[in-house]
Amino acid sequence: MEFINLGNASLAAQYVAIELFREIKRNPHTKLGLATGGTMEPVYAELVKLLKSNPVDLSLIQTFNLDEYFELDKQSPKSYLYYMKHHLFDHIDIKPEQYYFPDNDRENLDEDNKAYDELIMKEHPIHLQLLGIGTNGHIGFNEPGTPFTSNTRMVDLSEETIRANARFFDTIDEVPTQAVTMGINTIMQSDRIILLATGEKKQSIIRQLYDMTQPNEEIPASVLLNHPNVLIITDNEASPYKK
Ligand code: F6R
């Protein structure tokens, strides 16, 4: 696990966008794992700029999002599909057949989750997985205590996550309490992982992660200690080196 503090948040976002862009350029068939949340908004803004100002073929790439709120209408402006269209997909040359989300309907949920994992693993796992991190160490919506062997499934969101996500809704009561998330095992199959953390709210969990030598299921992101290719990018505020 390599940590790099890039100083300010926009530089950190720019760096991550360049890594995504270079991955696409290097491999026209690339499979990207994508995250949502406030941290990723400037990353997608930078990626859109790069894709507009450089010729690159997107027709064969595939993207797989980490999560979606359970039973939230996909057309809702609060859905992660809407988020991704708003911040990325509507601005680049990509067709709906190329981007995938975990299915968030109750009907056939187990089969659909299994199919999502199979699709992710088909031919080649995700080449580059982008992650944010919750203040409690969650990755995707894998909350503390999630077994490292978990695959895509429905989960209950923790109080901390519901409170943190309330900023995207009018009231906290509107925040869905459940989601469907890629599992930790699914995430760990990726060839390469970049986790981006910015802002002082993330400093304590990043510092904890930096100090850990053994993965512990109470801090889901600590599973990344077991992965051979993980880069953790921070700004000064989230930096593990901050005194
Ligand atoms: C969202 C996701 C979450 C977020 C995390 C941080 O798809 O996977 O793990 O990355 O909750 O969210 P922000 O960036 O809003 O602090």
Burial class, 180, CB count within 10 angstroms (exposed 0-12 / middle 13-18 / buried 19+): buried
Please tell me the residue having the least CA distance from ligand 1 atom 12: 37
Domain boundaries, the chain: 2-233
Q: Whole-angstrom Cα distance, residue 100 to residue 144?
A: 25
Backbone φ and ψ for 52, nearest 5 degrees, come out as -80, -30
Please tell me the residue having the least CA distance from ligand 1 atom 11: 134
Cα of 11 vs centre of ligand 1, distance in Å, is 19
The neighbour count for residue 7, using CB atoms within 10 Å, is 13
Cα of 35 vs centre of ligand 1, distance in Å, is 7
The model's confidence at residue 242, banded by pLDDT at 50, 70 and 90, is confident
Q: What is the position in ligand 1's atom list of the atom closest to the CA of 67?
A: 7
Q: Whole-angstrom Cα distance, residue 100 to residue 81?
A: 9
**Chain segment 16-61, per-residue pLDDT in tens:** 999 999 999 999 999 999 999 999 999 999 999 999 999 899 999 9
Kindly list the catalytic residues.
67, 136, 138, 143
Residues near ligand 1 (Cβ within 6 A): 35-39, 66-67, 132-134, 138-140
Query: The pTM is what?
Result: 0.97
Q: Which residues of 106-129 are buried (b: 16+ CB within 10 A; e: fewer)?
A: eeebeeebeebbeebeeeebbbbb
Whether 92 and 24 have beta carbons less than 8 Å apart is answered as: no
Here the ipTM equals 0.99
Cα of 165 vs centre of ligand 1, distance in Å, is 9
Q: What is the structure's pLDDT at 74?
A: 87
Top CATH class of 2-233 equals alpha beta
Question: Following DSSP, what letter does each residue of 21-40 receive, concatenated?
Answer: HHHHHH-TT-EEEE--SGGG
